[in-house]
Amino acid sequence: MDFLRRLVPNSSWGSGRGWISITVAGGSLAVVKGIIWCILDYKRFLALGPGGPPYNVFGWAVITFLIRPFTLAKQYTTWTGDYLGDDAHEEIKALPPRSGKRPTCDGIGPHRQLSQNAPEHVKESIRTLFANAAIQNPTFLETRTSGYERRNSALFTTKDFLNRHNRAQGASRLPEAVFLARGEIGHAHEDTSSHLYVSRGDARILIEKGWAERHRLAVPRHYLVKNILGVADTYLIIYAPRDETEMVALEVMLRRSITFMTGQEIDPIEWKVVI
């Protein structure tokens, strides 16, 4: 108010003209603040790097004004109240709690981990893990360009597998997520985090033990607006493994993700050498 008083002469405060001036000045200040916020938010968007939406002001505007209002607030990305009642797999239950605090994650599209990233010697192991998952199971898994990221490779069910199950009367045995994602199971990022679909019970345990958090598009099923951009409610960002012990945990998570999305049990995935 002091700022507004300086803009308007004291003699005008009691007149209609004075209040009009105050309104104009207040509106101008709000516009300036809005412009500054947009500039800073756009810079944060660019800092996340390419992935998903166009890497320009148009992509930022779509995410910010059309998508963000319907997403989870950051403080709810570790909420698991809608996953209660679904049991987790024994392998996921057996995982120890992740050590240390959670890393910082930001963004919607793209969605990235900003701290506690994997060291260089672990990066190749992550790429090998995802590649070998398809190589070891070629009858129903393959690697293609991510439909979510649109720039990096991702692990998919084969098109034939998805088409057969989509037509078959037993299609309901597969989760809705596999059809929403068009067969995409998950992918790794350059920041060394991963996005994976998991069961609701597994999602609860992984979040509670500090291994993951929800993607902000992974809104609960009871929300009025859900499955935004083809993202189901158990789409998680899996924090980057920082050493070989955490690589073992990531292998378990990827294997359980594959089983959830395909209904197929698979052998352990080799991640130390390319097959």
Domain count, the chain: 2
Find out whether 110 and 120 touch, Cβ atoms under 8 Å. Answer: no
Check whether residue 249 and residue 113 sit in a common domain. Answer: yes
- Domain presence at residue 95: yes
Terminal CA-CA length for the chain = 69
Q: Is the pLDDT of residue 20 over 80?
A: no
> Given this model, what pLDDT does residue 13 score?
46
Q: Is the pLDDT of residue 171 over 70?
A: no
Task: List pLDDT tens digits, range 194-221.
Answer: 999 999 999 999 999 999 999 999 999 9
Q: Is the pLDDT of residue 73 over 70?
A: yes
What domain range includes position 151? 73-262
Check whether residue 116 and residue 241 sit in a common domain. Answer: yes
What confidence tier does 8 reach under pLDDT thresholds 50, 70, 90? very low
Check whether residue 104 and residue 220 sit in a common domain. Answer: yes
Q: What whole-number distance in Å separates Cα of residue 197 and Cα of residue 187?
A: 10
Q: What whole-number distance in Å separates Cα of residue 29 and Cα of residue 47?
A: 27
Measured CA angle at 238 (ends 252, 103), to 5 deg = 130
Check whether residue 36 and residue 104 sit in a common domain. Answer: no
- Domain presence at residue 272: no
> Given this model, what pLDDT does residue 10 score?
53
Check whether residue 119 and residue 41 sit in a common domain. Answer: no
Check whether residue 213 and residue 131 sit in a common domain. Answer: yes
- Domain presence at residue 6: no
Check whether residue 135 and residue 152 sit in a common domain. Answer: yes
Residues contacting 171, CB < 8 A, separation 6+: 165
- Domain presence at residue 14: no
Check whether residue 110 and residue 159 sit in a common domain. Answer: yes
Check whether residue 135 and residue 173 sit in a common domain. Answer: yes
Which of 10, 41, 67 is the endpoint of a domain?
Answer: 67
Task: List pLDDT tens digits, range 180-191.
Answer: 999 999 999 999
- Domain presence at residue 78: yes
Which of 43, 67, 91 is the endpoint of a domain?
Answer: 67
- Domain presence at residue 267: no
Check whether residue 34 and residue 87 sit in a common domain. Answer: no
> Given this model, what pLDDT does residue 169 score?
55
Check whether residue 183 and residue 60 sit in a common domain. Answer: no
> Given this model, what pLDDT does residue 130 score?
98
Task: List pLDDT tens digits, range 77-99.
Answer: 999 999 988 899 999 999 999 99
Check whether residue 90 and residue 219 sit in a common domain. Answer: yes
Task: List pLDDT tens digits, range 222-231.
Answer: 999 999 999 9
- Domain presence at residue 15: no
Please, what is the average pLDDT of the chain? 91
Q: Is the pLDDT of residue 133 over 90?
A: yes
